[in-house]
Amino acid sequence: MPRQRLHPPQPELLRGFKYFALLRPLLQRLHDHATARDTAGNRQLFYDQYAALLLFYFFNPILTSLRGLQQASGLDKVQRRLGCGRASLGALSEASRVFDPQLLRPLLGELAARARPVVAGREAEALAALTAADGSLWRGLPRMAWALWMDEAHRGAKLHLHFDVLKGVPLDAAVTPAACSEPGQLRAMLRPGRLYVIDRGYASYQLFGDILVAGSSFVGRLKEDAAFTVDQERPLSAAAAAAGVVRDVVVGQLGTAHHKDVVGRPLRLVWVATGKRRPDGTAEVLLLCTDRRDLAAELVALAYKYRWQVELFFRWFKCILGARHLLALSQQGLTLQLYAGLIASLLISVWTGRQPTKRTFEMVCLYFSGWASLDELVAHIEGLQEHPKTKPRPPG
């Protein structure tokens, strides 16, 4: 006789933290995924429960392995809060191969839409929808055959992230083998209405054209030896000079006259001095390219400085949230893990109204560990001062 199918866990069972109500759509939409083949009704671990366990893992630094998570799933308090039963190690391992991580991906955008801006003012209005795109490497094991990188002994995966700079939260992400084209992956993830800021690793004239075709704009760094044809020299304001801008021109075409104009419209080049010196003693100057001819030159420079926010997020994500440790070795399993980590980061931002910090993350972990009460956690969140304007790091 087939076992009775468990009812979907109720979000109220995640009690003790009122903001977990944000997870209700996630819990409801995922429960029946990958159950069609379970004709005998034997499945004990459902997608929504697995996602909740992954989130629980990220909010409990004491857990460092899949076996530790499996052991924690047997605790009565964990089962009551997450609405799941004890999960076997085999069930957790199978879940990373059965459940489709792409069903978690839309939640990134949904939660990001709920996050509040952490940068405000006239500059933020001018740089609306500023999105930093970058990738970060996760070192893998030799037996991760899919994770192509340098050679058979050196495997790796790459997280490609789109980061909303003005909100300080991730917007979208994809996981690929490390040996992949970053410009190609950005091209596949383009959205309309964004202002992408990208480093020189994405310096592709075809990519610039694709961004424009997608209905977005860009600020990107070019190599210093880039060829171009100047149409107009633009005067520099005092504000631009104070921001380090040394030249501002409109170009009719990137590349030489022998190259095809794949962008198809005039662009703008802005040279920005960083204040640093190269080993040969010359001043370091960045060459930035954008289609936004309406932006003041100092705002073009500022947009590129804000690109560093995605680098800071990667450091927080790996070192503080603990996303460096691999719970699964398959591409599907690793993607599930990283999406869950990004969702955990987004939840902190939505709960607190600011970018996640080490102190707030510690307080959330203390609550889940039973050392802090709900009232103390809520008091911490409500006591957070309005987040100051994010200070961009100097470009480099």
Per-residue pLDDT of 301-316, as tens digits, reads 999 999 999 999 999 9
Q: What is the pTM of this model?
A: 0.87
pLDDT digits (tens, 9 = 90+) for 128-171: 999 999 999 999 988 899 999 988 889 999 999 999 999 999 99
Q: How confident is the model at residue 389 (pLDDT cuts 50, 70, 90)?
A: very low
Q: How confident is the model at residue 231 (pLDDT cuts 50, 70, 90)?
A: very high
Q: How confident is the model at residue 25 (pLDDT cuts 50, 70, 90)?
A: low
For residue 256, pLDDT over 60 is answered with yes
What are φ and ψ of residue 109, in 5° steps? -65, -35
Question: What is the rounded CA–CA span in Å between residue 258 and residue 42?
Answer: 66
User: What percent of the chain stands above pLDDT 90?
Assistant: 56
Beta strand 217-222 pairing with 195-198? parallel
> Ranked by mean pLDDT, which of 112-116, 260-264, 388-392 comes out on top?
112-116
Sign of CA dihedral 318, 322, 327, 333: negative
Work out the burial of residue 26: count CB atoms within 10 Å of its CB; fewer than 13 is exposed, 13-18 middle, 19 or more buried: buried
Q: What 3-state DSSP class applies to 268?
A: strand
Question: What is the rounded CA–CA span in Å between residue 79 and residue 132?
Answer: 39
Tokens of 37: 């083949």
Q: Across all residues in the chain, what is the average pLDDT?
A: 86
Average of per-residue pLDDT across 345-361 = 83
Tokens of 217: 């704009």
For residue 212, pLDDT over 70 is answered with yes
Average of per-residue pLDDT across 275-279 = 87
Tokens of 284: 């370091």
